[in-house]
């Protein structure tokens, strides 16, 4: 079955073509350079860029896959959660394709997309398994019983892990997005130079990273650096901050797996591209860890296409009344 997937939930315009679970193309057009000077995503700019790019990205995906519009048998589109103006662009594009071609359309939750990114890989876990989604908007643990059967075990009470990375990077004058740059600076820094808190929230599988972010702010103030921070300090703070975040994520994975008696764990979402998290996760001896490749951890349309494909196989489909939702629980 040839499936066209679309994701425009945030700042990436992405269209993918799959043949069943096999990726034929997965085009991700990043808007970062238009947002970085503002230190975060500007929703109005994001939706305007999606409008400008969606058709071109769609054509590129179809050409690269070596298929034609006529070959497409299912249109799978992310309809939430995300920025409403951005979601609407992908959704209108999907509806127009569906209406003009008569092909079925199916709406997919962005978080389901992140979970199912692992099914685009050669190696994927058997059900049931534990999933940690760590992205710019979410830090959540789920028990995954089957396709479409997700039980939330914990979630962030304030900032998501990726959001904390982005805000700390802004304080350090490192630009947006913060994750990749902190990841690379941390490798050159000494994580023990500064002692930052580990917000474990003992007894809970929820997360909270806003206190850690504030601790970095206070540390910079106490050191007397609010601007012109020396490179050495940036590296050491990056290493200490990253060590704190990764310690918490790893501990929570272990707690959740033991509470739910699960052996298999999928770690996914943009922050799952982090080299320290990947390294430390692989070192957990007692669990089988599954990590999508880095390009499938960050936002992409192939993960939406594979989720729609699995829903369609279960007999589900949407119609042209499908709406976008900024808030859409899984």
Residues that bind ligand KG4 (CB under 6 A): 10, 135-137, 162, 165-166, 177-180, 183, 269-271, 273-274, 298-299
Query: What are the E-state strand segments in the chain?
Result: 2-7, 12-19, 22-30, 74-80, 105-109, 129-134, 139-146, 149-155, 264-268, 288-290
Q: Which of 109, 135, 242, 268 binds Zn ion (CB under 5 A)?
A: 135
Question: Is position 183 annotated in a ligand binding site?
Answer: yes
C-alpha 61/C-alpha 40 separation (Å) is: 27
Question: Is position 138 annotated in a ligand binding site?
Answer: no
Tokens of 67: 């298929």
125 makes contact, choosing from ligand KG4, Zn ion, none, with CB < 5 to 8 Å by partner type, with none
Report the residue number, 72 or 241, with the smaller CB distance to ligand KG4.
241
Please report whether residue 299 would count as binding Zn ion according to CB under 5 A: yes
Only segment of 42-50, 122-130, 161-169, 297-305 that touches Zn ion (CB under 5 A): 297-305
Question: Is position 134 annotated in a ligand binding site?
Answer: yes
C-alpha 8/C-alpha 94 separation (Å) is: 11
Report the residue number, 125 or 270, with the smaller CB distance to ligand KG4.
270
Report the residue number, 136 or 154, with the smaller CB distance to Zn ion.
136
Residue 114 CB, nearest distance to ligand KG4 (Å)? 6
Report the residue number, 88 or 185, with the smaller CB distance to ligand KG4.
185
Report the residue number, 194 or 207, with the smaller CB distance to Zn ion.
207
Please report whether residue 276 would count as binding Zn ion according to CB under 5 A: no
Which residues are bridge partners to 268 per DSSP? 133
Question: Is position 136 annotated in a ligand binding site?
Answer: yes
- The residue among 328, 326, 329 whose CA lies nearest residue 85 is 326
Yes or no: say if 114 and 269 are a contact pair by the CB < 8 Å rule.
Answer: yes
Question: Is position 274 annotated in a ligand binding site?
Answer: yes
**Which strands make up the sheet holding 139-146, listed edge to edge?**
149-155, 139-146, 129-134, 264-268, 288-290
98 makes contact, choosing from ligand KG4, Zn ion, none, with CB < 5 to 8 Å by partner type, with none
Tokens of 243: 């060590």
How many chain residues interact with Zn ion (CB under 5 A)?
2
Report the residue number, 236 or 299, with the smaller CB distance to ligand KG4.
299
C-alpha 101/C-alpha 268 separation (Å) is: 34
Residue 180 CB, nearest distance to ligand KG4 (Å)? 5
166 makes contact, choosing from ligand KG4, Zn ion, none, with CB < 5 to 8 Å by partner type, with ligand KG4
Tokens of 70: 């006529």
165 makes contact, choosing from Zn ion, ligand KG4, none, with CB < 5 to 8 Å by partner type, with ligand KG4
Report the residue number, 80 or 137, with the smaller CB distance to ligand KG4.
137
C-alpha 159/C-alpha 172 separation (Å) is: 18
Q: Please provide residue 14's backbone torsions phi and psi, each rounded to the nearest 5 degrees.
A: -135, 135
Provide the 10 A C-beta neighbour count for residue 63: 13
Residue 171 CB, nearest distance to Zn ion (Å)? 23
Q: How many residues does the chain have?
A: 330
DSSP for 255-304, please give it.
HHHHHHT--EEEEESGGGG-HHHHHHHHT-TTSEEE---HHHHSS-SHHH
Annotated binding site for Fe cation: 110, 114, 299
Site residues, Zn ion (CB under 5 A)? 135, 299
Annotated binding site: 110, 114, 133-137, 166, 179, 183, 274, 299
């Amino acid at each position: 079955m040839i499936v066209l997937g679309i994701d425009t939930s945030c700042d990436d315009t992405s269209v993918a073509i799959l043949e069943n679970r096999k990726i034929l193309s997965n085009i991700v057009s990043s808007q970062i350079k238009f947002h970085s000077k503002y230190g975060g995503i500007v929703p109005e700019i994001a939706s305007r860029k999606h409008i400008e790019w969606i058709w071109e990205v769609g054509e590129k995906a179809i050409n690269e896959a070596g298929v034609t519009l006529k070959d497409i048998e299912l249109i799978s589109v992310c309809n939430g959660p995300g920025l409403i103006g951005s979601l609407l662009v992908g959704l209108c594009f999907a509806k127009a394709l569906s209406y003009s071609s008569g092909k079925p359309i199916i709406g997919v939750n962005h978080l389901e997309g992140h979970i199912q990114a692992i099914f685009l890989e050669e190696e994927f876990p058997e059900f049931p398994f534990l999933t940690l989604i760590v992205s710019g908007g979410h830090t959540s643990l789920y028990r995954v019983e089957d396709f479409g059967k997700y039980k939330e075990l914990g979630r962030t009470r304030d900032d998501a892990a990726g959001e904390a990375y982005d805000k700390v990077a802004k304080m350090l004058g490192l630009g947006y997005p913060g994750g990749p740059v902190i990841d690379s600076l941390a490798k050159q820094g000494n994580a023990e130079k500064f002692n930052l808190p580990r917000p474990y929230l003992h007894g809970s599988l929820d997360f909270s990273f806003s206190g850690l972010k504030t601790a970095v702010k206070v540390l910079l103030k106490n050191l007397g650096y609010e601007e012109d921070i020396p490179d050495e300090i940036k590296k050491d703070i990056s290493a200490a901050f990253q060590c704190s975040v990764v310690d918490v994520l790893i501990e929570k994975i272990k707690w959740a797996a033991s509470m739910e008696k699960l052996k298999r764990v999928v770690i996914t979402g943009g922050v799952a591209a982090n080299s320290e998290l990947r390294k430390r996760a692989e070192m957990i001896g007692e669990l089988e860890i599954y990590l999508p490749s880095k390009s499938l951890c960050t936002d992409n349309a192939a993960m939406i296409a594979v989720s729609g494909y699995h829903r369609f196989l279960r007999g589900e489909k949407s119609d042209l009344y499908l709406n976008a939702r900024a808030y859409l629980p899984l």
